[in-house]
Amino acid sequence: MYRENSAKRVSGKIGKIFPLAFMYLFLTLLLLICVLPFLLVLINSTHTSIDIVTRLNLTFGTALSENYEKMQSSVNIWQGFGNSLMISVPFTALTGYFSALTAYGFSKYRFKGNKVLFWVVLFSMMLPSQLSIIGFYQLNLKLSLLNSFLPFILPGMANATAVFFLKGMIEQSIPDSLIEAGRIEGSSEIHIFNRLILPCIMPGVATMCIFNFVSSWNNYLGPLVIMTDNAKFPMPVMIAMIKGLYQTNYGALYLAIAISVVPIIIVYIFLSRYIISGLTLGAEK
Amino acid sequence: MNKNCYGEGRVLCLPFTVCFISWESAPMIQNRCAATRGTKAALPKIFARVSARSALLFQKGMGISMKKKAFHKQFYGYLFISPFFIIFLIFGLYPIVSTALLSMQKWDGMLPPDFNGIDNYARLITDTTFFRSVGNTIRIWLFNFIPQMAIALLLAALFTFNRVRGMILFRAAFYMPNLITAASVGLMFNLLFNGGKSAVNHLLLMTGIIDTPIYFFESPFFTSSLVSYIQWWMWFGYTTIIVMTGMASIDTQVYEAAMVDGASKRKTFFAITLPLIRPTLIYMTITSIIGGMQIFDVPATLTNGTGEPQKSILTTAMYIYIQAFRSHNLGYASAVSMGLFLMIALLSMVSFRLLRRKEEG
């Protein structure tokens, strides 16, 4: 990281106080912009609808349980929550395991077409996904997978980005001798992968898993097209639907949004270090 | 990008950056990996056993075992990559091919599709709503991308060249909106702005900025700007982090040389930093185009889902959805998809050329 030398810093100290204050003011303003909407949602979710429309609430209210009952009376938000988990957890697990397996196959086995097939993987990263949504719908109609979680779980096995990332990692950090050692020990090939390779690249797999869990959790258009049964809706589709259901029942609406947003924020608070370093890996050389 | 889960385009792009950054930091990973798992310590032991057994193998005859090994290597290589390709063919490639085929058919989603040649495309090039949606999409993207880049460059420079207290906290907070479900964000901003008695109106009235409440969602200009703002809000933190990694990879000696030459801070930034992070900027621009042209979640949940008021936030992806699943013109919607695909390819190419040409000049 580049810093000025100390002599320059001392000489320019007085002239710097104003820009410095300005800088922190600017950063704090941006911080407020990022946090305030969530804070308003949290606060409003504890107020009655009348409170919400008559004034701006800046402190927490007492109508949380009332809002909760109203919210649960017309739709069971936890069902959406559960559905999202039922999709995102297996999706993430499949992504982690099969991306590592594919990357291992590409990097440690010499077979005909290795390079060409890897180009296919790279090419598959370039295709814009939302544009084939109609073909995706037709496919699931043909396979009678409408209203099923499978169309959102199985694609985890073909995650080109994760394969690309993990292939680089395996090539750099797994010596061939480790695999040879395993072979001579008499382990089967799949056993070598499960017991030797996978634990070694776990940090990279975990990074991939975090991002893929989030992208799966936030997926809106896919389920919107495939799901028609309310009981199968994952969180984003349910949230988008409830606006019509609750009408002017703002307290319940705000609470529903809060429930959809808070778990992600809590997870982020605990994992933000890993998430950001996942993004900036290599920047702290 | 993860092709198959149809999420917000750029969320899925983000691990891509992780990959090419991590390329360089692999030794670091290796160390961490060895440290956590103790493989380094365990290696000599394994090697000792290995050498004893490999001596045995030599006696058994190299020729046969080598042939067997080669076959093994081929077989297991194919075996390990086959799940990826089976699923990719079904959930990745097939939908694209079938969308392309459906774009030349008439299909309502129930009766068998009917081949109708280029009818859909003939309709597409005279469809004013389509061109309007393309215009909306590009406008929303531009008004989000330009401020996003400007702020990201500014913040990245601040964080890289200054000692900012609480940098980790600021950076983490700026990135947070990116992880939140876009559908929830759309509804959240709808609630905060909708109607005369919304939270934002209360805030503006209380601080005396306005006298009478504003009905934000009656103004096409405001609604479109709000979508751009939300996109900016969701993405500037991510862009900042990526630009920062680009800046951090610049050799500090270059800066020292500039300082010795007496270059000012501003000049150093424009003459050294910017040109050196051009690859990062190109990457950001292209992924942003690919994601931004497919924008759906926020504009679809911000108002009533049809791009009101006055179709000002009807994006092309929304138009595809409405044509396909509200009006049941799945064939025509496929043609619109192909049109959008062409546009994304074109815009990416143009911006790539533009950004590269600057480098040559």
| pLDDT for the residue numbered A16 | 65
Contacts of B301 in chain A (CB under 8 A): 220, 239-240, 243
Q: Report B:195-224 residues touching A (Cβ under 8 A).
A: 195, 197, 199, 202-203, 206
Average pLDDT, chain A: 86
Task: Give which of A49, A209, A220 to mutate to test B binding, by max B Cβ within 10 Å.
Answer: A220
- Judge whether residue A33 has pLDDT over 60: yes
Per the structure block, which two tokens stand in for B304? 């009533």
Per the structure, the complete domain to which residue A166 belongs is given by 71-280
- Give dist(CA A18, CA B312) in Å, integer: 42
Residue, of A21 and B146, whose pLDDT is higher: B146
Q: What domain count does chain A have?
A: 1
Which of B46, B294, B301 is nearest residue A128 as measured by Cβ atoms? Answer: B294
Q: How confident is the model at residue A11 (pLDDT cuts 50, 70, 90)?
A: very low
**Cβ atoms of residues A38 and A261 within 8 Å:** yes
**Which residue in A5, A136, A282 is closest to B245 by CB distance?**
A282
Query: Scanning every residue of chain B, which has its alpha carbon at the shortest distance from the alpha carbon of A34?
Result: B174
Number of inter-chain CB pairs under 8 A, A vs B: 432
The per-residue pLDDT for B27 is 39
The β-bridge partners of B114 are B106
The C-alpha atoms of residue A241 and residue A206 are separated, in whole angstroms, by 33
* Residue A14: band (very low, low, confident or very high) from pLDDT cuts 50, 70, 90: low
Confidence at B210, pLDDT banded by 50, 70, 90: confident
Chain B residues whose CB is inside 8 A of the A235 CB are 181, 184
B60 or B314: whose pLDDT is higher? B314
Q: Is residue A49 a part of any domain in this protein? A: no
Q: Is residue A147 part of a domain?
A: yes
Please indicate, yes or no, if residue A60 is contained in any of the structural domains: no
Residue A50 banded pLDDT, cuts 50, 70, 90 = confident
Measured between beta carbons, the chain A residues lying within 8 angstroms of B76 are 105, 109, 189
Q: pTM of the full predicted structure? A: 0.82
Residues A263-281 have a mean pLDDT of 82
Q: Which two tokens stand for residue B96?
A: 């694209």
């792009």: which residue's tokens?
B13
- Is B37 or A106 the better-scoring residue by pLDDT? A106
Give me the interface pTM, i.e. the ipTM.
0.86
* pLDDT for the residue B67: 58
For B97, the closest chain A residue by CA position comes to: A135
> What digits encode the pLDDT tens for the residues B235-284?
999 999 999 988 888 888 888 888 888 888 888 888 888 888 988 898 88
Q: Tell me the average pLDDT across B67-88.
A: 84
Interface contact flag, A199 B37, Cβ < 8 Å? yes
Cβ pair A121:B84 closer than 8 A: yes
| B24 reaches A (C-beta below 8 A) | yes
Query: Torsions phi, psi of A177, nearest 5?
Result: -65, -30
B255-261 — which CB contacts under 8 Å span 24+ positions?
A: B255/A2, B259/A4, B259/A5
Collapsed DSSP state (helix, strand, coil) of residue B113? coil
**pLDDT for residue A2:** 45
Per cent of chain A over pLDDT 70 is: 92
B173 has pLDDT over 50: yes
pLDDT score for A281: 55
For residue A191, what is the domain's CATH number?
A: 1.10.3720.10
* A283 pLDDT above the threshold of 80: no
- Are A114 and B77 within 8 A, CB to CB? yes
B1 shares contact with chain A (CB less than 8 Å): yes
How close is the nearest chain A Cα to the Cα of B361, in Å?
A: 28
Using a 10 angstrom Cβ sphere, with 0-12 exposed, 13-18 middle and 19 or more buried, the burial of residue B282 is: middle
In a domain, A245, yes or no: yes
Task: Please report which confidence band the pLDDT of residue A15 belongs to, taking 50, 70 and 90 as the band edges.
Answer: low
DSSP assignment of B324-340 equals IIIS--HHHHHHHHHHH
Lookup: tokens for B245: 């990694």
pLDDT for B265? 80
In a domain, A51, yes or no: no
Phi, psi for B114 (deg, rounded to 5): -120, 125
Give the nearest partner residue to B188 out of A37, A137, A158, using CB atoms. Answer: A37
- Residues in chain A with CB shorter than 8 Å from the CB of B5 are 91, 129, 152, 155-156, 215-216, 219, 222
Q: Which pLDDT value is given to residue B305?
A: 80
- Between CA A200 and CA B35 the distance in angstroms is 10
Predicted confidence at residue A139, as pLDDT, reads: 94
Is residue A1 situated within a structural domain?
A: no
The DSSP line for B220-278 is HHHHHHHHHHHHHHHHHHHHHHHHHHHHHTS-HHHHHHHHHTT--HHHHIIIIIHHHTH
Question: Which of B96, B184, B238 faces A261 most closely, judged by CB atoms?
Answer: B184
Higher pLDDT, B161 or B341: B341
- The pLDDT tens digits for A144-162 are 999 999 999 999 999 998 9
Residue A10 has pLDDT above 80, yes or no: no
CB contact under 8 A, B33 and A254: no
Q: What is the average per-residue pLDDT within A91-99?
A: 96
Contacts of B77 in chain A (CB under 8 A): 105-106, 109-111, 114
Name the pLDDT band for B346 (thresholds 50, 70, 90).
very high
Q: What is the pLDDT of residue B195?
A: 80
Looking at residue A105, its pLDDT comes to 94
Mean pLDDT of B141-161: 93
Q: Could you give the CA distance from residue A4 to residue B161 in angstroms, rounded to a whole number? A: 8
Question: Residue B69: which pLDDT band, with cuts at 50, 70 and 90?
Answer: low
Of B74, B241, B297, Cβ closest to residue A111: B74
Half-sphere exposure of residue B146: CA atoms within 13 angstroms, side-chain side: 6
Q: How far apart are CA B104 and CA B113, in angstroms?
A: 10
Of A264, A224, A259, A216, residue with least CA distance to A240: A224
Q: Is residue A80 part of a domain?
A: yes
How close B22 gets to chain A, by Cα (Å)?
Answer: 6
Is A107 within a domain?
yes
Contact assignment for B25 to A250 by CB distance below 8 Å: no
Q: How many angstroms separate the CA atoms of B123 and A28, rounded?
A: 51
Q: Is the pLDDT of residue A248 over 80?
A: no
Which of A6, A27, A119, A170 should one mutate to test binding to chain B, selecting the residue with the greatest count of B CBs within 10 A?
Answer: A27
SS3 state at A252: helix
Q: What is the pLDDT of residues B251-265, one digit of tens each?
A: 888 888 888 888 888
Cα–Cα distance, A280 to A273 (Å, whole number): 10
On the question of pLDDT at A54 being above 70, the answer is yes
Closest residue, chain B, to A281 (C-alpha): B22
Mean pLDDT of the region B15-29: 38
Residue B115 bridge partners (DSSP) = B105
B321/A contact by beta carbon, under 8 A: yes
- Closest-CA residue of B relative to A27 is B170
Q: B176–A155: do the CB atoms touch at under 8 Å?
A: no
Chain B contact set for A127 (CB, 8 A): 1, 3, 92, 96
CB-based contact B161 A280, cutoff 8 Å: no
